[in-house]
Amino acid sequence: MYEQSIAVRSDARGSGKPAARSKTRSNHPHTSVPPQPSVNVIPVPPAEFAKIRAGLQDRFDQLSTEYRNATVELRALQIARQSDTSGDDQADTGNKTFEREQELTLAHGILERVEQVERAIGRIDDGTYGQCERCSNQIPIARLEAYPAATLCVTCKQRQERR
């Protein structure tokens, strides 16, 4: 969707006559044109996808094991906390709560990474891996090698981090 805009000419004579109409993209979120995919996307060889997918699958298996171990530790802490509360003062209770919160944070972080890797594997399977989710441009292979679960190109990631 385009909006017509009229620029008023401001020359030395100050005629105030309307200049030629120009078409500009609307800044309104409901009328903006979605970004078009890049035409010159360099295809990644299928062998490279297979290698990346195998690496992601290994990472998924590692993270899944870490997550299971973290949840086992969390359950053990919770059981110990419930069964052994006799003689606890406020410092002991606070310590146990702090340990539990640390374990929860750790488990949550691991789970987020598991989901990122799982999503990257899904993107490989559906043919969208290596394409920026925001602008549809190709994500450089160097970025994918450094961070295989990347879903944004460097430019879009920098914009996201500035917000």
50 and 100 share one domain: yes
Provide the pairing of β-strand 22-25 with 2-5: antiparallel
118 and 58 share one domain: yes
Interacting residues of 89 by C-beta distance below 8 A, sequence separation 6+: none
68 within some domain? yes
pTM higher than 0.75, yes or no? no
39 within some domain? no
163: its two tokens = 């917000």
| Closest C-alpha among 60, 67, 55 to residue 110 | 67
For 14-55, the pLDDT digits (tens) are: 444 444 444 434 444 443 434 444 434 455 677 788 888 999
142 within some domain? yes
Three-state secondary structure call for residue 22: strand
For 101-158, the pLDDT digits (tens) are: 888 999 999 999 999 999 999 999 998 998 999 999 989 888 888 899 999 999 999 9
Residue 7: how many CB atoms within 10 A of its CB? 11
| Closest C-alpha among 32, 29, 35 to residue 137 | 35
Q: Count of domains in the chain? A: 3
Q: Which structural domain, as residue segments, surrounds residue 7?
A: 1-34
136 within some domain? yes
90 and 143 share one domain: no
26 and 101 share one domain: no
